[in-house]
Structure 1
Amino acid sequence: MSLIGIILCSLRFPLLLIVYNKLKGDSMRNYSLQEEQANRRRELSYIEDYPDMERFHSHPFRRYLDKRNTEYLVRRKTALRQVNDKAAAMDYQAKVLEAFRESVGQLPAGCTNAYVTGTLDFGSYLIDKVCIETMPGIYATGSFYYPKKRGDGGDDKQLPALLLLCGHSNEGKAHVTYVSFCVEAVTSGFCVLTFDPVGQGERRVRGVEEGEGNESSESNSAWLDPVAAHCFLDQKLSLLGEHLGAYMMQDNIAALTYMLARPEVDSARVGVTGNSGGGTMSAYMGAYDDRVKAVAPCCYITELRSMLYRLMAQDAEQCLPGFMERGLDHSDLVTAAAPKPYHIGAAMFDFFPIDGVRDAFIEAKKLYRLLDAEEQLELHVVMKGHGFWKEMREQVLQFFCRTFEVQWNSENGVDYARLPSETELLCLTVDGSGDESALASGSLLDIVRKKVGSLPVMQRSVQNGAEVRERLNGLLQLNTESELKYSPLEPDQNGSIAFESESGMIITGALHRWSAAESGELQRICIAIGGMNEAELARAKNSGYDAVLIVHPRGTGPAALEPGCTFGMFGPELASGYNVRMLGQSLQGLRVTDVLAAIGSLKQTPGFERAEVTLCGQEEHALTALYAAAVLSGGHSIHSLHAAGLLASFRAFAEAEQHKYDAGIIVPGLLLAFDIPDLLQMLQAELSGSIIVESWLDPMKQPAEPPFDL
């Protein structure tokens, strides 16, 4: 070889080495860039978002929620202030455990079957691809990581094990941070089980993209992101008196049962961890299941009111029904686990507010101290944004090493350039063949459809109106008539009105009046829920109405929350609805309250005492009008109902693959009592006036056939 060739070769080798190292580190380097950008945005948000945040809180509905959330916080802080000795702490913990189990509610029937569909060999460790039957016909697709050699104890030695619960990643168990943690843990001497939550990974939910028509096909269907999938399924379950959180807990418990049955696992040394939504579930499991011996939720524990003030409520399973009504907060989930070793992982620039983390930790620390377990509770804060970053993962792993007496090895030799890929971790395919597994995995939507199908078909006969009203009042969680205080409406010179539908909730609208009433004269009034345009107002006048009262129920139309008030995290309709659900009510029930208050206030207004009221509404507002009419149909407050674009059936809504209705229409448990046609049939017998439904819609807001003749 020539001298020039030798020189070129010597130059080429370092160049090749640089290229090799670049390729090897690309995945982690790209992820580090993502981390850096996320942290920078999150850090700046604490100062840059403040003006917008204060503006958002000037909104009447947001002020109302702030008031309710603050009242909740004062009540629980007052109760906690009385807990000052061990006996009181034990009593408080027992009440927390009972209240948390009530919020979770009854779990669906579970299964204990599991099938390994393949095994991956990564040299020092193996991964079993496992399908865990958590409920009949429902499989959670998971990965069980375990060392190939179990140390000095030989193949019979049992190892500590960790259940890793995933946050809201599309990839589920295959997200790079979760795979990284599993490999880091298994190379440190742990077994690890993780699985796809419903709506993620191999269990993703397909929805229908918005567009013309309502036909579902490959061309117009798409995967829902995890939050949308969770809320979509939760809405359907809510109509049946259930909620997604209970189903996800059943998944968690079945996965833990499977892990404990593995011969590699030491059942006395079992921990649970997770980040974000996985942090939620790990905190739930630490409080719920005594088989868990140590708990490490990350990027979740904070003070609930602090989080609600900053960006409103999270998604379905993170907002258990009645959670706040029962006085519970995140710190209570920590307290419920005492005296288990507990590690709270937090990020300084997380959207889970760091000031709330401080307060939650102080509350939990007080209870742990009174229960003689103060040294078992710890908090570690990383100077980063939301995410299961390497520093946080290392702190969690060191915690479990200390707890389960495993030697911590910072040099675990993880090859981050050769982590298991999403394709390799697929469970519902047979290794190497590309053929689908023989397992027929169902979905929660299948369960919903089966439950709906098992409901008795309502006979369209006239039901007892008093019983229907009583049951509907309970479902909507309405106040009794004696608790409602109404004042006369006082329109300004432009006809605009504002009234208080309940303490602290101001509702706006307008009163358009075309004729004044003589003494004792009957006035025909249309109450337009959601508003009317000029053409509709003209039509109402020509139809003989003396006035139209426009009412904007909270969170709708001009009274809607600004889209940016959740800073891109969740839709305001979902967020406000789940806040209300934790307070023990429903958004639909509150909107019906607004309409009842409008009618009551109108009847107190001079000239309208004997008004003949027709309730009008379109689409979502048609449902609010229907419920209000049904509630009032036994007296003289309501004369007739006029609806346009009315949903034909909630049974069809529950069974549909997708819908275009706002989340606020959901009334928990409605389908266990009656459906829309049943309420209309009852109104036919109760109202003195007419019932007009101009048009019917299916769940995708496409024209539907009338369910029966009015």
Structure 2
Amino acid sequence: PCLIYIPDEKKSLFPAVLIPAGHDINGKAGYNRIATFYAKNGYVAITYDFVGQGERQFVDKNGFVYAFASTAHNITGVPMTLYDFNLNWFTIFETISAIDVLKSTDFVDMAKIGITGASGGGTNSFYSAAFDERISAVAPAASVHCFLNKVYPDDCEQSFFNHIERGLDYCDIASFLIAPRHLFIVANSHDIWDIEGTKYVYETAKKFYRMHHAEEKLKITISDKGHGYYVEQIEQVLLWFNKIFDSRHEFIPYEKITENQLPSEKEICVLADNESRQYYLKNPLKIFKKNVNVQKDSGYIENIKRQLQPFLEKNCYWEIIDRYPMGNRYYCRMIFSPEKNLILPAEIVIPEKLDCALILLDEIKRTEKQQLHMQKSFANNLVIRPDLRWCGETSYRERWEDYENFCQNNFSGKNFKTFIMCHILGRYVVVERTKDIICLVSILKKNWNIKKIIVHAHSSTAISAILAGIVDKRIEKLILEDFLFSYKSIFDVEYPLWRPDNFLQGILKSGLDIQDLCNLVHTKDITFIRPLDARMKIVNVNFH
């Protein structure tokens, strides 16, 4: 659903401005005033709802909204990665489609197309201008930054995967994909982004604009404010558009736009009857799954193996920090290093007599529920329980957004940050944690006379354990408990409950699922305990 605001005056062709929504749950309705402001100043303005916003909010049959803006983007965007798709592509395409809508009219001057938005809308403006040269001028607000000093884990609607791995940053987009078209960076010195990074984008792009003899087309303004798009900035951008598009319309200040000039709530609701709205209000993953293509890829697993193979032969550093005697066993704290500049903690219980070693994996902090590893040591098992990467002590520190909504934590808090940070760097949480498991296997084999190594994985660590079992023949048994039985089941529900760090990018696109991975494990000694579906309901499924 979208709205087009048309100036109430006689003129054959008008300049137009696209206003993509930021992270406002009301979507296009939240931009009613700014769109009216542009229309009163002689511009056609178009606003539209991205997934999870406005008339595309996620609601249940009783009208309860169960996901808000960023979280809704991630509920949709994270599962898409299983098919190697990126939600950012879709939102950019929707903005490009909005340009097609403007082109289909008989009142828009297609030589005078501008775009401006703030926060997520600013990011979409920036990216959309990079992909569609029909946009003559772009003014992203409260959005442009760079990864020079800090890496930001934005939501799926704002993030390109493998961004940093491929050496791509905001300054590259501005310099190579937008220049020499008009670019006005609207920034705030106390924004959530590092202002020095924003300045760096501007200074870098300026060199390329100079090469094009177009320095006058690049502009920046920095306000002493926090995150937002403020009235004086909105007016400044409109006046900038006026100069570029040679608009001589009488300027009407933003504050002159009164409530009685705005369309009513009923008027801005495109899908008036509830029956039609249901299509938009549901999670679009089911629609996505129906239209996605699956391509059998025999090289998918081989690529993962190539990433993990060097760790089979690696001599990993490890050290016991302290030990406490407990009858005929020792309880120890240790550290180990799977890679350079990475130290991970672990608890280890060493009995007097060793029959086998058990690597106990779960997603909670290793020191919680100590009975989990103590009890298993009484069967003459050396039990090692680590905090894998981004688990327990190595997870992100809690911040206010991690508590945005308890039921949404998986898609809006630190678990999601871990997922998106890895994707920006071209890495995948599941594969990274597999490296830690292989490292522990090497430590056990080298330092104790272990006859048998068992990996017992709970919940989100199960996929990493399966990958370790595929690559490392030294693992003789796998126990998978309370684990997701099928990635495909994610697309059968409105709201999947599994954390993003369970997801393995591109696996469904390659024609594989979790059961296929299990069939590739070297040992056939695999125990499955309580396989779960996307809602974490126990399912009766035969994995053999």
**TM-score, length basis structure 2:** 0.89
SS of equivalent to 2:357: strand
Question: Taking structure 1 as reference, are residues 445 and 206 closer, same or farther at Cα in structure 2, changes over 3 Å only?
Answer: farther
Q: Contact between 2:57 and 2:65, CA under 8 Å: does it hold in 1?
A: no
Q: 2:285 aligns with which of 441, 445, 449?
A: 445
**TM-score, length basis structure 1:** 0.69
1:119-198 equivalences in 2 (<5 Å)? 141-150=1-10, 154=11, 157-175=12-30, 178-198=31-51
Tell me the equivalent position of 2:53. 200
Q: Contact between 1:488 and 1:604, CA under 8 Å: does it hold in 2?
A: no
Tell me the equivalent position of 2:258. 416
Deviation at 1:437, TM superposition (A): 5.3
1:511 aligns with 2:343: no
Q: Contact between 2:42 and 2:249, CA under 8 Å: does it hold in 1?
A: no
Tell me the equivalent position of 2:339. 502
1:612 aligns with 2:455: no
Tell me the equivalent position of 2:74. 231
**Residues 250-307 of structure 1, C-alpha deviation per residue, up to 9 Å, x if partnerless?**
2111111111221110011111111110111110011111111111111111122434
SS of equivalent to 2:471: helix
Tell me the equivalent position of 2:443. 601
Distance 2:534 2:314 in 1: 36
**Residues 571-608 of structure 1, C-alpha deviation per residue, up to 9 Å, x if partnerless?**
12212321211111112221112112221232232x24
1:222-261 equivalences in 2 (<5 Å)? 222-261=65-104
Structure 1 vs Structure 2 CA RMSD? 2.7
Larger mean Cα displacement after TM superposition, 356-365 or 621-630: 621-630
Question: Taking structure 1 as reference, are residues 185 and 620 closer, same or farther at Cα in structure 2, changes over 3 Å only?
Answer: same
Deviation at 1:479, TM superposition (A): 4.0
Tell me the equivalent position of 1:372. 213
Distance 2:113 2:275 in 1: 33
Question: Taking structure 1 as reference, are residues 365 and 477 closer, same or farther at Cα in structure 2, changes over 3 Å only?
Answer: farther
Letter in 1 for 2:114: G
**Residues 396-430 of structure 1, C-alpha deviation per residue, up to 9 Å, x if partnerless?**
1011001000126443584322222333200012x
SS of equivalent to 1:478: helix
Q: 2:228 aligns with which of 372, 387, 405?
A: 387
Distance 1:505 1:352 in 2: 26
SS of equivalent to 2:455: strand
Distance 1:445 1:475 in 2: 26
Letter in 2 for 1:204: Q
**Structure 2 unmatched ranges of 5 or more:** 324-331, 405-411
Q: 2:303 aligns with which of 469, 474, 485?
A: 474
Q: Contact between 1:488 and 1:603, CA under 8 Å: does it hold in 2?
A: no
Letter in 2 for 1:184: F
Larger helix proportion of the pair? 1
Q: Which runs of 4+ in 1 moved over 4 A?
A: 434-443, 565-570
**Residues 329-383 of structure 1, C-alpha deviation per residue, up to 9 Å, x if partnerless?**
1122221211111111112221122222222211111221122111110011223
SS of equivalent to 1:360: helix
Q: 2:504 aligns with which of 660, 664, 667?
A: 667
Distance 1:651 1:278 in 2: 31
Letter in 2 for 1:235: V
Tell me the equivalent position of 1:324. 164
Letter in 2 for 1:541: S
SS of equivalent to 1:510: strand
**Residues 166-191 of structure 1, C-alpha deviation per residue, up to 9 Å, x if partnerless?**
1010010000xx22221111111111
Q: Contact between 1:475 and 1:670, CA under 8 Å: does it hold in 2?
A: no
Question: Taking structure 1 as reference, are residues 287 and 581 closer, same or farther at Cα in structure 2, changes over 3 Å only?
Answer: same
1:348 aligns with 2:189: yes
Q: Contact between 2:402 and 2:414, CA under 8 Å: does it hold in 1?
A: no
Distance 1:566 1:427 in 2: 32
SS of equivalent to 1:548: strand
Distance 1:347 1:565 in 2: 21
Q: Contact between 1:302 and 1:357, CA under 8 Å: does it hold in 2?
A: yes
Q: 1:590 aligns with which of 426, 432, 435?
A: 432
Distance 2:85 2:252 in 1: 47
Q: Contact between 1:554 and 1:560, CA under 8 Å: does it hold in 2?
A: yes
Q: Contact between 1:322 and 1:582, CA under 8 Å: does it hold in 2?
A: yes
Q: Contact between 2:206 and 2:215, CA under 8 Å: does it hold in 1?
A: yes
Distance 1:478 1:294 in 2: 43
1:532-681 equivalences in 2 (<5 Å)? 533-545=369-381, 547-564=382-399, 570-605=412-447, 607-608=448-449, 610-632=450-472, 635=473, 637-672=474-509, 673-681=511-519
Question: Taking structure 1 as reference, are residues 534 and 440 closer, same or farther at Cα in structure 2, changes over 3 Å only?
Answer: closer
Distance 2:398 2:74 in 1: 18
Q: Contact between 1:448 and 1:655, CA under 8 Å: does it hold in 2?
A: no
1:314 aligns with 2:154: yes
**Structure 1 unmatched ranges of 5 or more:** 1-140, 208-216, 459-466, 518-522
Q: Contact between 1:347 and 1:382, CA under 8 Å: does it hold in 2?
A: yes
Distance 1:483 1:437 in 2: 56
Distance 2:204 2:313 in 1: 37
Percent identical: 25
Distance 1:603 1:142 in 2: 62
**Residues 37-78 of structure 1, C-alpha deviation per residue, up to 9 Å, x if partnerless?**
xxxxxxxxxxxxxxxxxxxxxxxxxxxxxxxxxxxxxxxxxx
**Residues 97-139 of structure 1, C-alpha deviation per residue, up to 9 Å, x if partnerless?**
xxxxxxxxxxxxxxxxxxxxxxxxxxxxxxxxxxxxxxxxxxx
Tell me the equivalent position of 2:360. 528
Q: Contact between 2:360 and 2:384, CA under 8 Å: does it hold in 1?
A: yes
Tell me the equivalent position of 1:282. 125
SS of equivalent to 2:19: strand
Q: Contact between 1:286 and 1:333, CA under 8 Å: does it hold in 2?
A: no
**Residues 529-564 of structure 1, C-alpha deviation per residue, up to 9 Å, x if partnerless?**
13484433344234442x011121111123322212
